[in-house]
Amino acid sequence: MKVGIVMGSKSDYEVVLRVEKILDSFGVDYVTRIISAHRTPSVAEEFASGAEQEGFEVIIAVAGKAAHLGGVIAAYTPIPVIGLPVKSSTLDGLDSLLSIVQMPKGVPVATVAIDGAENAGLLAVQILSVKYDELRDRMKAYKENMEREIIKIDAEFQNGH
């Protein structure tokens, strides 16, 4: 099981680190690259076209501003692509979100929240869990643990409030 993580700029790496942390916690292998849809389009095409042969099963495309990376990648591969919009300096990431979510018919890109790195990683794990039972079991345990944590926090809140 292997995920490709592509980011449009090195400045996106702070967000990508949180994706990598989630994938590490589930034992999912990944490769992280810096590939720009606009500045290195031939590299983006080459990466996406060869992704299946490289063993990638999901690709997470992380980009800000005119965030076309996910769409460009999705145009060249049958592998599921998750778009992760990054908060940009100008429009607080709304430009990134709209660039990723407004894909034309026939070129789907699943999209998570602006800077939603954890959910991008978790969605990749859930997609992979269709094929890998051990990931499905880990995801169930993750959700059960999350539920226990919230119940604990609620109890502490109720006792101290």
CA distances from 65 to 9, 14, 32, 98, 99 (A): 11, 16, 20, 9, 8
Map out the domains of the chain as residue ranges. Answer: 2-128, 133-161
pLDDT, residue 161, reads: 73
Does 3.40.50.1970 match the CATH number of domain 2-128? yes
pLDDT, residue 89, reads: 72
- In angstroms, rounded to a whole number, what is the distance separating the alpha carbons of residues 92 and 146? 29
Alpha helices in 37-161 (DSSP H): 41-50, 69-76, 94-101, 117-128, 133-160
Please report how the helices 13-26 and 117-128 are oriented relative to each other, as an axis angle in degrees rounded to 10. Answer: 40
pLDDT, residue 28, reads: 98
pLDDT, residue 159, reads: 87
pLDDT in tens, the chain (161 residues): 999 999 999 999 999 999 999 999 999 999 999 999 999 999 999 999 999 999 999 999 999 988 999 999 999 999 999 999 999 877 889 999 999 999 999 999 999 999 999 999 999 999 999 999 999 999 999 999 999 999 999 999 998 87
